[in-house]
Structure 1
Amino acid sequence: MTNRAKNSNRETWLTDIYLIAFLMMVSGLALGMAATQTHYLLINVTFLAVTICLILFTYFWGIITGLLLNLAFMFAQILIVIYVSQTHADTVAWGLLFWMILPLLLSISFYGMTAHLRKLQADNVKLRQDLIERGAFDESTNLRTTVSFIEDTAVFTETNRRFNLPVTTMIIRIRYFQEMRSMISDSQLSELLQLVSETIKDAMRTNDITYLLDRTNPTWGVLLFTNADGAGIAGKRIKDKFDKALLDSDNLATLEVRLMVGVASWDAEKMKNPYDLMNAGIKETEYDV
């Protein structure tokens, strides 16, 4: 397990522990309020409002500020308890003792839970940025890129060698894209890329992986454990789904957009590396008329 995975696992456990502790403190507070007599209702409600404020101050201003405010609240409670003890029975002071410690514990547990949760979120953002920086994922479509395609193709071809499973790539391009580009806006282009990407993903099986290989001349790729005929059927399904989705799009319905699909199967005798498979699929799109 990598250090990042270990840290993420640790932060998850700490978040859960603080959450459980916070819920236990809330339960203890509820029991304490229920156990005190009815004529202490005003004090309980007042202290509850102060406790909520202390939790919020701790969350927004930090743990040090929260601790100082909780200590000030404890001191104020001591003065209140002394006053109440002088005007009521001695049992009054004992009935309010739970307010001395629970607000502090609630503030600490809530702050701990949210602090570790923020660390988890920051780790997730950093991980996503790292993946994007390394070229593994396209940021706008959330599809894998050429880097991933090459790496995954190596795995697929090794599976082909060991188990004799057919490996095929399907390459999808937009017909006459270069001529079309000057006639569409950037927002339409972004929506078009998203529409094609979503159509391909929806049309494929869950174990078929979709990639965005090129944004300049939009090119998508799919790796499949099937033969050329099976990939051809999937390609026709993608075209049909895209034609329907295009008509349903208010911003793109007026455009004449057609997809080209090229299918190439892995041939260990003729192909030496993943680029050969990808280029063969790209070459096949030229014959899709």
Structure 2
Amino acid sequence: MKRFQNSFLSDVAFLSFIVVCIVMTIFVSSDPNAYVVNVILLNAAFLIAIITYFSTMMTGLILNLLFIFGYGSFTIYQAVTLGELVGTSNYFWLVMTPIVTILAWLLTQTNRKLQEENDHLQRQSLTLVMLDEKTRLKNTLSYQQDITTFMALSERYKIPLTLLVINVKYWDEIKRIMTAEKFSSALLEVSDISQSLVRTNDSLYLLNNENPTWGIVLFTDIEGASIVIKRFKDKINELNEYEFKEKYAVELQLRIGTAQYDPQNPVSPLELISVAKRTMEYDV
């Protein structure tokens, strides 16, 4: 929303600046007798606008005050000494010059904000390319990079390596009775629970955030993984009795599959996920 507002203001400022420039050009060409003076004043207005664009609004205001003072003094001098009447052209430049300055400042401010937002989004994209935006958990791309290293460590140091794949039973049905806000809340809550139950040397990933699927890489064998699975299910059952029923009006039940990496029969990272998902069929 904020980005849209900045973009809208930038467009309005740009179009307004073009319209004002056209109006000033028409005004200059409409009076041949004062053509030279009007051209000088037009250049002065543009010069102040350009300086404001590359500096600050305060600089533009100071220059406008100097312009108004100088041009006002010149107008009074002409009226007193030469007897010239104060006409529309005098008031025109006193009004239009500050307007051009304000539009130039507004244009540069909105452009700077858009540039800052663009820089922020670029930095954020570099960070989030390996992370899920909502949960800040590592995603599938990060999993594929990490698990390759873990597989190499498992082969070299003979350390057992097991992948747990976790999702929520009947998620499609549960999601239909949830609002988008509750959906995000449930996703975050299960992610937090998963994070709290793993060791610091284990890695947690969000493999799919549409049909929430988590992956946990454990440096243990199937027997050790079964202990982690029991902890998960006990924690979820405990929360189902009180917290989840009140928040989501449903019980969240986990379905967990396991796959231990076998150095003798190496598989790809995605194939390891597939093996773990197939074992979910036996988790009823």
TM-score (norm 1): 0.55
1:282 is aligned, of 267, 274, 277, to 277
1:178-189, aligned counterparts within 5 Å?
A: 178-189=172-183
Aligned: 1:130 with 2:117:
no
- What residue is the counterpart of 1:204 in the other structure? 198
| Bigger Rg, which one | 2
Percent identity among equivalent residues?
31
Distance, in Å, in 2 between the alignment partners of 1:265 and 1:279 is 12
For these two proteins, the number of residue pairs brought into alignment is: 177
Distance change in 2, residues 1:63/1:286 (3 Å): same
**How much has 1:286 moved relative to structure 2?**
1.6
2:171 is aligned, of 174, 177, 189, to 177
Report if the CA contact (8 A) 2:174-2:250 is conserved.
no
Q: Secondary structure at the match of 1:127?
A: helix
- What residue is the counterpart of 2:224 in the other structure? 230
Report if the CA contact (8 A) 2:160-2:219 is conserved.
yes
Distance change in 2, residues 1:253/1:64 (3 Å): closer
Distance change in 2, residues 1:210/1:124 (3 Å): farther
1:98-139 deviation digits (Å, cap 9, x = unpaired):
xxxxxxxxxxxxxxxxxxxxxxxx98874332222x3x1001
Distance, in Å, in 1 between the alignment partners of 2:158 and 2:121 is 40
Distance, in Å, in 2 between the alignment partners of 1:206 and 1:241 is 19
- What residue is the counterpart of 1:271 in the other structure? 266
Distance, in Å, in 1 between the alignment partners of 2:245 and 2:161 is 38
1:99-178, aligned counterparts within 5 Å?
A: 126-132=122-128, 134=129, 136-178=130-172
Q: Secondary structure at the match of 2:149?
A: helix
Q: Secondary structure at the match of 1:138?
A: coil
Report if the CA contact (8 A) 2:244-2:252 is conserved.
no
Aligned: 1:245 with 2:258:
no
Look up the equivalent residue of 2:135 and give its one-letter code: T
Distance, in Å, in 2 between the alignment partners of 1:264 and 1:193 is 23
**How much has 1:217 moved relative to structure 2?**
1.6
Report if the CA contact (8 A) 2:161-2:221 is conserved.
yes
Look up the equivalent residue of 1:265 and give its one-letter code: Q
**How much has 1:236 moved relative to structure 2?**
1.3
1:64-79, aligned counterparts within 5 Å?
A: none
Q: Secondary structure at the match of 2:132?
A: coil
Structure 1: stretches of 5+ with no match in the other structure: 1-61, 70-121
Tell me how large the CA RMSD over aligned residues is.
2.8
Q: Secondary structure at the match of 1:252?
A: helix
**How much has 1:241 moved relative to structure 2?**
1.5
Structure 2: stretches of 5+ with no match in the other structure: 1-54, 63-117
Moved runs in structure 1, 4+ residues, more than 4 A? 62-66, 122-126
Distance, in Å, in 2 between the alignment partners of 1:156 and 1:124 is 33
Report if the CA contact (8 A) 1:168-1:265 is conserved.
yes
